[in-house]
Structure 1
């Protein structure tokens, strides 16, 4: 009987600490979120990694999307803004590439001003 009371007391104490630690974890997460909103000159490695992931994902989407000449379009990303440059065969290809890039998770906006319409080889199949 005495062991049962001690065991219940330990469980209650453990639960109390767990519930007390939960708000502390939320505060720490909010604090971490505030630190993530830094200026671009103070970018952290995770920010750069996110940009690299976005660039890779956009290039991958271009490579698997019919009608986009993936090898003729360069992609770079800075703070979630994707910049496209290169040459496409038509205004429709330019618009299509911009739409595909915009659909990638994490992309804030797409700048396709460096994408020129001209004579480009036919798209890969």
Structure 2
């Protein structure tokens, strides 16, 4: 029974990682396609954008496998290695854990959690 639970978690984590990996990479491709006809407002290179997309994906997948952070309630964006978290969490502890998890990802230069709010209904 324990092995089945572990297999389910592993498959779920792999699925989430794959799903999250496709979203940022498609955003980078769309941004690059849109930049062909107009002046780009950012001087970020394609490799930098890809690195930021990878960081975003990795942070989201870490949230997805963490019991302490509800991944569906937290949005993650990365620019020049700085991760910005936004959304609503259930407690101050969950907010701290989200920041800790994001900081632990390789390549993260900093974490901005100013957009992450604690739910008013939190009883902690």
TM-score scaled to structure 2, two decimals?
0.63
> How many pairs were matched up?
82
Q: Distance in 1 between matches of 2:120 and 2:50?
A: 34
Alignment of 1:52-67 (within 5 A): 52-67=53-68
Q: Please tell me whether Structure 1 or Structure 2 has the larger radius of gyration of its CA atoms.
A: 1
Establish whether residue 111 from structure 1 lines up as the match of residue 112 from structure 2: yes
- CA positional deviation for 1:90: 0.5
Residue 94 (structure 1) aligns with: 95
- CA positional deviation for 1:119: 5.2
Asked if structure 2 preserves the Cα contact closer than 8 Å seen for 1:62 and 1:68, the reply is yes
The superposition leaves residues 21-66 of structure 1 with CA deviations (integer Å, 9 ceiling, x where unpaired) of xxxxxxxxxxxxxxxxxxx932110000000000000000000011
Q: Name structure 1 gaps, 5 residues minimum.
A: 1-39, 121-125
What SS is found at the alignment partner of 2:107? coil
Structure 1 stretches of 4+ with a deviation exceeding 4 A read none
TM-score scaled to structure 1, two decimals?
0.62
Q: Name structure 2 gaps, 5 residues minimum.
A: 1-40
Asked if structure 2 preserves the Cα contact closer than 8 Å seen for 1:87 and 1:119, the reply is no
RMSD: 1.8
Residue 11 (structure 1) aligns with: none
